[in-house]
């Protein structure tokens, strides 16, 4: 009989280079699912990769003075290294710059065009460069990108459009007929109410102003707009559109697209519509998970670097605590589907309580007692008594319970079920008190049974843990004389009584050393602060750039900067920051929120009523969660001290400064 197939995908990652632990969330979860399904005996294909095209990369490469491909190559390598460290075992790492992907996307685009699903027109829309997304006026939030809150620009150009508007009813019907298609439920409501019911608009799918992307092969000058390029990876990775589509025939449709919630619209609305237009089967399920939050915000490297001393670099985390600890935290801590707060303290507490205490102690106590009382030879199992029946029933139930949790895509619950057995076994030690039984030689048989039962519970737990943790389960099995690598399925966990007795049991070395949380956090903080100080020294730009001679610019270059006078109407300190002031600044007809790093030099009271010079066309940026709409000019002395630039005589706010 042919094996059941299981095709699971992560989104393909933007090659940002600033990878943080939040980025690893989707992929570690997918890896656990892939491993779990492999152990069920299924024929698994696990896809991940990178999403390398688009204006943002084009600009960054230009800034760096290299070609876009050259720019992304090392970033992609960096991401692969993170997956290696975290023991993520994918079957393909697709890059949107791969030849077969490019050809596949061209074929998809052409097919859609030939089927009349794509047409040429003119696009006018509000484009957010960082998000690579076009928005309609009504979708904008206070005139800014509804996703990131940044400035958008009105762009008009000749573009191809995908007839997305024709698919709203079909997608609503898809949801109705397949309530499991989009999970969790809340995401489906969001899609229905925010996008499908109001009606879909046709989607711009090519750009002429962007060069870094897949060229439309029948209309030179047009580049496939990123989302068709990116989403198609799920089928081009299997050879769709190439001469060699054996994998596509075997694995498509995907069983699960796992993505973060912010890109659900693309996966649960646009992607199904594209597939419908191509007459291809739809993925069976799309799941939009929540975010790892830091300080109430989506974890992002730039933020953590500035405002927090949390350690978030996945490489460093693996170096300090090992891949199993990081994987365990990601898979266990956050109720699946919801957001969860990331702190080093929560990570360390998880490691200590679950891994070092519950699991580590169970293994070390059991193997120590088998060595102490039976010379390291596992005794045989005798008659059942006392709490044995309950222990055995918990152990035998784990496989089914984990199966249920995994079918509901609930990895945290699956781990909870395994740890329920570990907890039960620890409680069993307390209930049976083997050290007391050991005092009575006539009870040697009972002592043997207790230790045998514990060994079985540990064996079952270790096998069940294999999809989630990749180092310690095999290590544990090794203490019990089992080569973990040979355990490729769950066959041995469905019944209690695998050991025959007589097996050589090794005294376990510590699996997870207990971490002194306070000390460790103090060390991490020190590390973060000293790093920040070193960075400042390395980048004397803030204060010592005074001496730097910048290249000459033309009057046209200067004219790009719009300087205006403003009057500070209100000012307050930004919470938990000794540097930042948040101000309301009237600039002619509008009042802006501006966050400025002048709190050390000016009190809020001093600022109110001051006339300031505002860089009025600066791209808004979020500082401590506040969107700052411009910058206030200051003079900076060699020692870094700031002095406000103001006017010598009165001038109305909103006046041009030149
Ligand atoms: N390139 C697009 C996806 C295209 S798929 C056809 C993209 N890339 S991404 O690099 O921004 O995100 C990759 C994955 O990381 C997404 O699933 C995203 O949700 C996830 N995460 C990034 N930061 C995260 C957190 N702080 N928390 C949890 N997951 C987050 O989107």
Mutate to test the pocket of ligand 1, among 23, 52, 256 (most ligand atoms within 8 A of CB): 23
Residue labelled with tokens 């007692």: 369
Which of 24, 536, 18 minimizes the C-alpha distance to 301? 18
Q: Is the CB of 263 under 6 A from ligand 1?
A: yes
In this predicted structure, the answer to whether residue 394 has a pLDDT above a threshold of 50 is: yes
For the record, the structure tokens of 202 come out as: 């046709």
For the record, the structure tokens of 156 come out as: 């008009």
Q: What is the largest CA-CA distance in the chain?
A: 102
Confidence of residue 637 (pLDDT cuts 50, 70, 90): confident
DSSP label of 503? -
Which of 211, 311, 231, 313 minimizes the C-alpha distance to 274? 231
Q: Which has more confidence, 546 or 138? A: 138
What spacing in Å lies between the alpha carbon of 220 and ligand 1's midpoint?
31
Q: Is the CB of 71 under 6 A from ligand 1?
A: no
Please answer whether residues 158 and 208 qualify as being in contact, where contact means their C-beta atoms are separated by less than 8 angstroms.
yes
**pLDDT of 402-424, one tens digit each?**
999 999 999 999 999 999 999 99
Q: Is the CB of 259 under 6 A from ligand 1?
A: yes
Please answer whether residues 606 and 572 qualify as being in contact, where contact means their C-beta atoms are separated by less than 8 angstroms.
no
In this predicted structure, the answer to whether residue 305 has a pLDDT above a threshold of 90 is: no
Q: How many residues does the chain have?
A: 658
Angle between helices 411-432 and 444-465 (to 10 degrees): 170
> CA dist 479 to 36, 52, 421, 505, Å?
23, 45, 19, 6
pLDDT, position 184: 93
Q: Chain centroid to CA 472: how far?
A: 24
In this predicted structure, the answer to whether residue 543 has a pLDDT above a threshold of 70 is: no
Tell me the H-state helices in 20-179. 23-39, 55-64, 68-85, 99-114, 168-177
For a pLDDT cut of 90, what percent of the chain falls above it? 73
**pLDDT of 114-150, one tens digit each?**
999 999 999 888 888 777 676 778 889 999 988 778 8
Tell me the H-state helices in 438-471. 444-465
Please answer whether residues 424 and 398 qualify as being in contact, where contact means their C-beta atoms are separated by less than 8 angstroms.
no
Mean pLDDT rounded to a whole number for the chain: 91
pLDDT, position 149: 84
> CA dist 58 to 63, 176, 315, 359, Å?
9, 41, 27, 49
What is the average pLDDT across 288-298? 79
What spacing in Å lies between the alpha carbon of 76 and ligand 1's midpoint?
15
In this predicted structure, the answer to whether residue 22 has a pLDDT above a threshold of 60 is: yes
What spacing in Å lies between the alpha carbon of 629 and ligand 1's midpoint?
26
For the record, the structure tokens of 381 come out as: 């199992």
Distance CA 57, CA 42 (A): 38
In this predicted structure, the answer to whether residue 602 has a pLDDT above a threshold of 70 is: yes
Q: Is the CB of 312 under 6 A from ligand 1?
A: no
pLDDT, position 536: 65
In this predicted structure, the answer to whether residue 540 has a pLDDT above a threshold of 60 is: no
Please state which of the ranges 167-176, 203-212, 439-448, 629-638 shows the lowest mean pLDDT. 629-638
- Count CA atoms within 13 Å of residue 399 on its CB side: 18
What spacing in Å lies between the alpha carbon of 219 and ligand 1's midpoint?
31
Q: Which has more confidence, 449 or 641? A: 449
In this predicted structure, the answer to whether residue 541 has a pLDDT above a threshold of 60 is: no
Q: Is the CB of 391 under 6 A from ligand 1?
A: no
Q: Return the ligand 1 atom nearest residue 230 CA.
A: 6
The 3-state DSSP class for residue 637 equals coil
What spacing in Å lies between the alpha carbon of 511 and ligand 1's midpoint?
32
Distance CA 108, CA 416 (A): 43
Q: Return the ligand 1 atom nearest residue 266 CA.
A: 6
Angle between helices 23-39 and 68-85 (to 10 degrees): 50
pLDDT, position 649: 80
Distance CA 456, CA 497 (A): 7
Q: Return the ligand 1 atom nearest residue 234 CA.
A: 6
Residue 59 neighbours by CB under 8 Å, 6+ apart? 129
Strand order in the sheet with 340-341: 297-298, 292-294, 340-341
Q: Is the CB of 251 under 6 A from ligand 1?
A: no
The 3-state DSSP class for residue 387 equals coil
Question: What domains appear along the chain, each with residue ranges and CATH number?
Answer: 344-493 (1.10.730.10), 540-644 (2.40.50.140)
What is the average pLDDT across 192-216? 93
């Amino acid at each position: 009989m042919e094996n059941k197939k299981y095709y699971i995908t992560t989104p393909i990652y933007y090659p940002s280079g600033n990878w943080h632990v939040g980025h690893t969330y989707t992929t570690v979860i997918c890896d656990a699912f892939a491993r779990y399904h492999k152990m069920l005996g299924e024929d698994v294909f696990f896809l991940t990769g990178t999403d390398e095209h688009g204006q943002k990369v084009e600009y960054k490469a230009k800034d760096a003075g290299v070609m876009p491909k050259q720019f992304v190559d090392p970033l992609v390598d960096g991401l692969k290294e993170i997956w290696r460290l975290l023991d993520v075992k994918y079957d393909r790492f697709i890059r949107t710059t791969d030849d077969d992907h490019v050809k596949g996307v061209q074929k998809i685009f052409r097919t859609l065009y030939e089927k009349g699903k794509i047409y040429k027109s003119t696009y006018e829309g509000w484009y957010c460069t960082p998000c690579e997304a076009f928005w309609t006026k009504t979708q904008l939030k206070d005139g800014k990108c509804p996703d990131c809150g940044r400035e958008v620009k009105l762009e008009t150009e000749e573009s191809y459009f995908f007839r997305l508007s024709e698919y709203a009813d079909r997608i609503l019907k898809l949801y109705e007929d397949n309530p499991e298609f989009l999970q969790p439920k809340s995401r489906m409501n969001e899609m229905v109410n925010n996008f499908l019911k109001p009606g879909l608009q046709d989607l711009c799918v090519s750009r002429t102003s962007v060069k870094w992307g897949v060229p439309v092969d029948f209309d030179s000058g047009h580049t496939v707009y990123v989302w068709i390029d990116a989403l198609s990876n799920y089928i081009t990775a299997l050879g769709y559109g190439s001469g060699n589509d054996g994998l596509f025939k075997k694995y498509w449709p995907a069983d699960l697209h796992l993505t973060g919630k912010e890109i659900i619209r693309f996966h649960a609305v646009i992607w199904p519509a594209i597939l419908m237009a191509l007459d291809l089967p739809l993925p069976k399920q799309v799941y939009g998970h929540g975010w790892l939050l830091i300080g109430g915000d989506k974890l992002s490297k730039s933020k953590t670097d500035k405002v927090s001393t949390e350690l978030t670099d996945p490489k460093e985390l693996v170096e300090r605590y090992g891949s199993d600890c990081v994987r365990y935290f990601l898979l266990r801590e956050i109720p699946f589907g919801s957001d969860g707060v990331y702190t080093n303290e929560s990570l360390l507490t998880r490691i200590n309580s679950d891994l070092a205490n519950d699991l580590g102690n169970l293994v070390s106590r059991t193997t120590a007692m088998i060595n102490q009382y039976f010379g390291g030879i596992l005794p045989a199992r005798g008659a059942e008594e006392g709490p044995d029946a309950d222990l055995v029933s918990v152990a035998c139930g784990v496989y089914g319970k984990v199966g249920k949790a995994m079918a509901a895509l609930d990895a945290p619950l699956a781990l909870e079920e395994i740890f329920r057995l570990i907890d039960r076994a620890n409680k069993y030690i307390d209930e049976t008190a083997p050290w007391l039984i050991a005092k009575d030689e006539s009870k040697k048989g009972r002592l043997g049974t207790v230790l045998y039962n514990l060994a079985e519970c540990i064996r079952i737990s270790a096998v069940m843990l294999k999809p989630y943790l990749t180092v310690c389960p095999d290590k544990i099995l090794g203490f019990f004389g089992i080569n973990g690598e040979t355990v490729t399925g769950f066959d041995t966990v469905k019944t209690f009584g695998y050991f025959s007795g007589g097996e050589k049991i090794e005294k376990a070395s510590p699996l997870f050393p207990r971490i002194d949380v306070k000390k460790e956090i103090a060390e991490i903080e020190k590390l973060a602060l000293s790093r920040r100080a070193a960075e400042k020294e390395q980048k004397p730009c803030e204060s010592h750039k005074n001496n730097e001679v910048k290249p000459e610019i033309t009057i046209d270059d200067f004219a790009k900067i719009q300087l205006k006078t403003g009057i500070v109407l209100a000012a307050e300190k930004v919470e938990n920051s000794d540097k930042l002031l948040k101000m309301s600044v009237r600039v002619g007809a509008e009042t802006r929120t501006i966050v400025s790093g002048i709190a050390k030099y000016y009190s809020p009271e001093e600022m109110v009523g001051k006339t300031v010079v505002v860089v009025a066309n600066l791209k808004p940026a979020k500082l401590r969660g506040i969107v700052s709409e411009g910058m206030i000019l200051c003079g900076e002395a060699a020692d870094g001290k700031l002095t406000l630039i103001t006017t010598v005589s009165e001038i109305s706010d909103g006046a041009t400064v030149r």
